[in-house]
Structure 1
Amino acid sequence: MDLLRLRYFQVAARHEHISQAAQELCIAQPSLSRAIARLEAELGVLLFDRQGRQVRLNQFGTAFLRRVDRALRELDDGRLELLDAAGLEHGSITIASETQLTLTSVLKGFMAEQPGVTVRLNQLSADLMARQLRAGEIDLCLASQPIGGPPLVTFELVQEKVFLAVPVSHPLAGAERVSLEDIADEPIVATREGYWQRTLTDQLFESAGLRPNITCEGNEPGATQDLIGAGLGIGLLPQIGRTAATHTPVSWLELDAPGCVRTLSLVWNEESYLSVAAERFRDFAIRHFRNNRE
């Protein structure tokens, strides 16, 4: 069975869209379609239900994907293990997070300590991080919300308070503390579903029996403070944002709501082989955040 076709199938199954999968693989869409068609002919069953370029895994595809993920992960782990055994400990690491700003300080220290390591970064939603960890496509991720469950292992790095940020000209800017009822009708800047700011916003409002008036949403949590400072609305920001001098100034208020915190965790797949480089980054990140708490 052609390994290249299996990798093509794996990417197509993740995207469930032929054009998007072909773009990631840097091949023409007809070539990807033909490769999957040959794999289906070899297996004797269809793996996808097709609607134009949009495809959906059927029951056969779902069952086969589990085996393909496991087989390709074993082969990738074997390659990494051989590289480590041959003394090529520098290697490379693939790390994901919801915002790359979370990784800035830890990567600066790690790269100074391990200049030979190549680091690849992916910015993903929580669901995609969990999916790619399970598939062995990334080594580690820094998650701001729970994405655990076997075989994923979670190590809590730090828990920080989350504040309500408002433009400096906002009527609430002079307040020290507000309730959810006080901001029930305010326009809110948040991220799209799947990112921690949106998840926390929805959870807090739902617990109070309210619905947030989200008027601005995007895929970059790190841009939220600048959007709030520009006057587009109010929103949730973590404690770390108060020390970032590069952002547009905002006023910081405490939100009277239980559970208004962000927990940053390091997550990896205990069934996947971690290279020496990945282990070193994991250990460095744990030390880094522990030292910053003390």
Structure 2
Amino acid sequence: MNNSQLRAFHAVALHGGFSKAADKLGLTQPAISDQVKKLEEHFGVLLFHRHKRVVKLTSLGEQLFEITKHKYQLEDQARDLLSAHQALENGSLTIASDTPLYIFPLISRFKRLYPGISVTATFANAEEIIEGLNSFSYDLGIVADVTPEDKFHTIKLAEDPLVAFVSKKHELAHKDDVTLRELSRYPLVLREKRSRTRRLIEEEFKNAELSIRTGVEVQGREAAREAVAAEIGVGLVSKPEFGHDQRLIALPLRDCSAVMTESIVCLKDKMDRQIVQAFFTCNDLPLPDGEIA
């Protein structure tokens, strides 16, 4: 028994005759009759009562028809499922970011075009995101100052200066800007050691031959914001990430050359996914050379 024989039987049973089955399958009537006959002869059974132009299922044929209905219904469901994904009507995308600044506008544009795609946004530091990309936990990552690697497709989204920020009650709050040397006189609210912001600040202080006074080490931007508001020390963050907080004042760093670069990153091995390509395309982000969305 092969699939063409079973499909010919199913078509005859479904449409009530050999001619109609032939029309539906785009075959000749003799070809359909031959397939059904071979199926019957192979198992030594009778699946249809044939009388002139009337075709009727035998009891065994009715049982087999119930099975083939289920079989081809499952095939249709599988085809519909895959076609829906091909048309980007269903599916999922997981994005990890080290900041909420850039991720949501990108997701918003994508969801307007592909509302059926489920998108999960996760937040972590840059090192954790790269680890997640390598382990296939995330489809895309938005990370600060990522080092380009051949296995990644990396597109720069933004390049922003660092700023200091203080409580409105802090003695620096009246200034228009501040230098690294001035900051070295005050305790700093530092992010966790794996934070790219912290690494940049440490590099800047080292290059300026200045020491850092640590007020407190915290995990995450919100914790840093609250620590500064509580007057524990001076915080440092990229300019767009400072946002708006009536308790705090941002101070440009006059002599700091460091900038925070945010990039979207994807393993090249995942760039052939249609969903990933659609995300890049709808956000006007270039695909790797040779890729077609």
Q: Give the C-alpha shift of residue 232 in structure 1.
A: 2.2
The Cα shift of 1:274 comes to 4.3
The one-letter code matched in structure 2 to 1:157 is L
SS in 1 for 2:232: coil
1:142 aligns to what? 142
Deviation readout 1:72-116 (Å, 9 max, x if unpaired): xxxxxxxxxx95796262311111112345423333343333321
- Counterpart for residue 94 of structure 1: 94
How far did residue 285 of structure 1 move? 4.1
Which position in structure 1 is the counterpart of 2:193? Answer: 193
Distance 1:226 1:109, change over 3 A: farther
- TM-score if structure 2 supplies the norm length? 0.62
Match among 263, 269, 272 for residue 270 of structure 2: 272
1:210 corresponds in structure 2 to 210
Output the CA distance in 1 between the equivalents of 2:246 and 2:174.
17
Alignment-derived partner of residue 120 in structure 2: 120
CA change 1:229–1:209 in 2 (3 A) is same
Larger Rg over CA atoms: 2
| Alignment correspondent of 1:221 | 221
Residue 184 of structure 1 deviates from its aligned partner by 0.8
What does the per-residue CA deviation read over 1:5-51, in whole Å, with 9 as the maximum and x for residues that have no partner? xxxxxxxxxxxxxxxxxxxxxxxxxxxxxxxxxxxxxxxxxxxxxxx
How far off is 1:182 after superposition?
0.8
Matches within 5 A, 1:66-105: 83=82, 87=86, 89=88, 90-105=90-105
Q: Secondary structure at the match of 1:271?
A: helix
Unaligned stretches of 5+ in structure 2? Answer: 1-80, 286-293
Q: What is aligned with 1:249?
A: 247
Would you say the 8 A contact 1:163–1:260 is kept in 2?
Answer: no
Q: Give the conservation status (yes or no) of the 8 Å contact 2:184–2:212.
A: yes
The answer on whether the counterparts of 2:86 and 2:274 sit within 8 Å (CA) in structure 1 is: no
8 Å contact 1:166–1:235 — kept in the other structure? yes
Contact map agreement 1:230 1:248 (CA 8 A) in 2: no
Letter in 2 for 1:127: E
- Report the Cα distance in structure 1 between the residues aligned to 2:246 and 2:258, rounded to whole angstroms: 22
Post-superposition, which runs of at least 4 consecutive aligned residues in structure 1 deviate over 4 A? Answer: 82-86
Q: Give the structure 1 partner of residue 73 of structure 2.
A: none
* Count of aligned pairs: 204
Cα distance in 2 between the residues matched to 1:284 and 1:218? 37
Q: Which residue of 1 aligns with 2:175?
A: 175
Change in Cα spacing, 1:129 to 1:241, as seen in structure 2 (3 Å) is closer
Q: Is the 8 A contact 1:155 1:265 kept in 2?
A: yes
> 1:220, CA displacement in angstroms?
1.7
Per-residue deviation, 1:142: 0.6
Correspondence 1:16-31 to 2 at 5 A: none
Structure 1 residues 233 and 95, CA gap change in structure 2 (3 angstroms): same
For residues 285 and 190 of structure 1, the distance between their equivalents in structure 2, rounded to whole angstroms, comes to 34
TM-score normalised by length of structure 1: 0.61
What secondary structure is seen at the aligned counterpart in 1 of 2:116?
Answer: coil
Counterpart of 1:260 in structure 2: which amino acid?
A
**Does structure 2 conserve the Cα–Cα contact (< 8 Å) formed by 1:197 and 1:221?**
no
Partner SS for 1:171: coil
Q: Which runs of 5+ in 1 are unaligned?
A: 1-81, 288-294
Which residue in the other structure is 2:133 paired with? Answer: 133
| Aligned-partner Cα distance in 2 for 1:115–1:85 | 12
Q: What secondary structure is seen at the aligned counterpart in 1 of 2:169?
A: coil
Give secondary structure in 1 for the equivalent of 2:210. coil
Tell me: higher relative CO, structure 1 or 2? Use CA pairs within 8 A at least 6 residues apart.
1
